[in-house]
Structure 1
Amino acid sequence: MLREAKRRQTRLDLITAALRLVDERGADRVTVDEIAATAGVSARTFFNYFATKEDALVGDPLEGCTDLRAQLLDRPADQPLLDALLDALAPVFQQIHDDRDRWLLRMRVIHQNPQLLPLLIAAAATAEQQFADAVAERAGLPADDPYPQVVAAVTSCAVRVAVMRWAGDDGQERPLTEHAHEAFGILAAGLAHPQPRTA
């Protein structure tokens, strides 16, 4: 347990070092040796965790978070799906909230270095497929059924919108969970047209 915690901390230290250096200089002006030195480890140790500098920058944003598949399958079978999805994602929202500074830094780095986007998109696609598989298993549907794939896709979009709105809330007045419930509420309403807001 202690060894695993140490490994996780080293990984987070490398991610943080990479993000901070690239935020200051740009991805093309930072080397693996500099990232490792900033994190207080050797370059060899760096490669025990990441294959490339870009992998460290994108990282696994939900590293160490509770298994989403297990969380979803653990929800009561008669619970409405969107409620089950929100409950399954609750540890994710908490981790993002607790790790706000690193999340904002990662988002800024990726925005400033668009060459990282393909890696981010690939990671998101993998996570979305795993989520679709869990939805299919919960619903007793074959893996190639469109229902779980659509559910996973709209869930990913709702989470992305919630995180972006939360990240843009400079006053930090609303927790991420509120933004998530708002986005999922729009899905639950069947994308019904909202009432115009009055000034």
Structure 2
Amino acid sequence: MERAVGLRERKKEATRQAVHEAALRLTVEHGFDQLTVEAVADAAGISRRTFSNYFAGKEDALLHGEEQQTRELVRAVRERPAEEAAWTALRAAMTQFAERVAPPEREWAVRTRLAMRHPSLLARQLANHAALERDLAEAVAARPSLSPEPVRPLVLAAAFLSSLRIAMRLWIEEDLAREPIEVIDEILDEMGRGFA
């Protein structure tokens, strides 16, 4: 039974990934304004109805990869040793996360540039970031090494995510000249002066 559930979940995730990749490819080829759910479904080899079982709209399909990565990052923070200071745990989780996933390249840069230009994508991305900030704050608040001040986890999570956004924007503006983790470390060093 467990094996069947595992296989079913892998198939579902493979379908989600295929739809995401089709949405990204069509957006790059034709632009986000020309993208339709029907075209994405056709390109992914599924029906319009099946698309709706996986995603609420084209924005969700396009941003699926980012959502997966945010879940991985939160999991990495939760898995850090309890005795680590919160900022240290956030940084170490980012390093661990960067080692486990492929570095952001063209896909991430394309999606980010699209989000900067399209209000519906930007709104969806901001909602994703708000959820990530909340989840990271909860993960940080659960650390025994953190003092019980209720606002500190919120500030740490917001500062950490702001650092990542600044680093990724800088990385894109530098036209991908350095490895993303180099830029992230530089910004986290600067931001961390107040949290270390």
For the structure 1 residues 84 and 169, does the alpha-carbon distance in structure 2 shift closer, same or farther, using more than 3 Å as the test? same
Q: Is the 8 A contact 1:65 1:92 kept in 2?
A: no
- Tell me which residue corresponds to 1:4: 9
Partner Cα distance (1:96, 1:132) in 2? 22
**Offset at residue 58 of structure 1 (A):** 2.6
Q: How many correspondences in the alignment?
A: 188
C-alpha contact (below 8 Å) 1:73/1:134 kept by paired residues: yes
Residues 161, 183 of structure 1: 8 Å contact kept: yes
Unaligned runs of 5+ in 1: 192-199
In 2, are the aligned partners of 1:62 and 1:92 still within 8 Å (CA)?
no
Q: 2:148 aligns with which of 141, 144, 155?
A: 141
| Corresponding position: 1:183 with 2:187 | yes
Please say if residues 62 and 95 of structure 1, whose CA atoms lie closer than 8 Å, have aligned partners that are also in contact.
no
Alignment partner, residue 91 of structure 2: 86
C-alpha distance in 1 between matches for 2:118 and 2:174: 23
> Which of 165, 168, 190 is residue 160 of structure 1 equivalent to?
165
SS in 1 for 2:87: helix
- Counterparts of 1:48-63 in structure 2 under 5 Å? 48-63=53-68
Q: Secondary structure of the residue that 2:181 maps to in structure 1?
A: helix
Q: Which moved more, 1:126-135 or 1:93-102?
A: 93-102
Whether the 8 Å CA contact 1:163–1:179 is kept in 2: the answer is yes
> TM-score w.r.t. structure 2 length?
0.81
User: 1 CA distance for matches of 2:110 and 2:40?
Assistant: 16
Instruction: Report the CA distance between 1:140 and its aligned residue.
Output: 5.7
Could you give the per-residue CA deviations for residues 36-63 of structure 1, whole angstroms, max 9, x where no partner exists? 1111222122112101122212335041
Cα deviation code 1:46-102 (max 9, x no counterpart): 112101122212335041666444432432343333221111223443466435222
CA distance in 2, matches of 1:64, 1:110: 17
Q: Letter of the 1:5 partner, please give it.
A: R
Structure 2 spans left out of the alignment, 5+ residues: 1-5
Q: Tell me the distance in 1 between the aligned counterparts of 2:91 and 2:74.
A: 13
Question: Does 128-137 or 111-120 show the bigger shift?
Answer: 111-120
Alignment partners' CA distance in 2, 1:30 and 1:126:
26
TM-score norm. by structure 1 comes to 0.80
> Quick one: structure 1 residues 73 and 27, their matched pair in 2 at CA, closer, same or farther if it must change by over 3 Å?
closer
CA distance in 2, matches of 1:190, 1:184: 10
Q: Percent identity?
A: 35
Q: CA RMSD in A?
A: 2.6
Q: Greater helix percent: which structure?
A: 2
